[in-house]
Amino acid sequence: MATMTTIKDMAKVLQVSPSTISRALSDSPEISSKTKERVREMAKTLGYVPNHYARSLKSKTTKTIGVVVPNVIDDFFAKVLHGIEKEASKYGFTVLITFSNDSKKSEYKNLLTLINHSVDGILISFSKEIQKSGDYGNMLKIMGYGIPIVMFDRIHKGLPFDSVTIDDFAGSYRATKHLYNSGCQRIAFLSPISNTSVGRSRKEGYLSALKRKENNSLPSFCIEFGSYEKFKELFSNVLKTHRLDGILAADELSAIYSLNTLQQMGYKVPKEISVIGFTNGPMAQSANPALSVVSQHAERVGAKSFQVLKNRLTNSRAKTKNIVIASELLLRNSTRAMYFEE
């Protein structure tokens, strides 16, 4: 494992004294602007973190953990954070929460900030940007600090970290199967998260469920989009072209958008088109009709993520754990009842 970058390391690369590096980082007037800029660029390149964290290594624990989430707009992440905080408080831990806003740059900046605040460990759900690019170089730099990291929800299997996820594939498979067992023959998959690990798993579950029997597969319609600005126009055109009778949305918001668009266009839900989304949030529960969903048990994901991190803090050499939490299909009024099973 890589070691933490020090002032001496940067001094050696830049061929100046450690005191020059230290004074440049402190913005001393004794150091020229040009040298300060060189030092800052080198610090950024090498992932240097001030000694704030290094000093903290002398104590066994700070009883503080850091969390990096894409956002709290999604009810799922809000509930995960509640589960983390609730479980952490049982053991006297303080939780520092940061948001990447799905930006790779912000994500890395937040990780360094948490390290600088002497956290004992970090929980992270990766940004859309890093999962789209597939470039986890910044995470390899963070590994060099030797801080325990647990991934949750959006993960990367190529990293040697513990992880906590739900069975996205199985949840999507089960939801798609319910749709065709209730009579749907032209089922579409809507996803604004196609570049994330969870988005890919849910799509795979959907596609797999459509392959019911040899030579008897149902057609697939994957509608992937990046923003909701032109969602209504996009979705309306698909409806007019393909005469859909079932919708599986990869998250709660796209399910609500599709439900509203369908009703605005005069479709009867679920008589003409059934809709299922992911995440059992307040929007799904209060929708009209109430939305059938794949519940991800978000608070349980949060609590389990903290438990895994806590165990890692006490046993750094333990075998890596990959926890998968079962999802649950909650049927409400946006879907018809099944009339046959396979």
pLDDT in tens, the chain (342 residues): 445 677 888 888 899 998 898 888 888 888 999 999 999 888 877 777 765 545 444 456 899 999 999 998 889 999 999 999 999 999 999 999 999 999 999 999 999 999 988 899 999 999 999 999 999 999 988 887 889 999 999 999 999 999 999 999 999 999 999 999 999 999 999 999 999 999 999 999 999 999 875 557 889 999 999 989 989 999 999 999 999 999 999 999 999 999 999 999 999 999 999 999 999 999 999 999 999 999 999 999 999 999 999 999 999 889 999 999 999 999 999 999 876 555
Strands of the 246-249 sheet, one edge to the other: 221-224, 187-191, 246-249, 274-278, 292-295, 328-330
What pTM, to 2 d.p., does this model score? 0.83
Residue (of 135, 98, 101) closest to 117 by Cα position: 98
**Whole-angstrom distance, CA of residue 189 vs CA of residue 277:** 10
In 15-73, alpha helices (H): 18-25, 33-46, 51-56
Contacts of 90 (CB under 8 A, 6+ apart): none
The Cα 94–Cα 280 span in angstroms is 27
Among 185, 191, 193, smallest CA distance to 246 is for 185
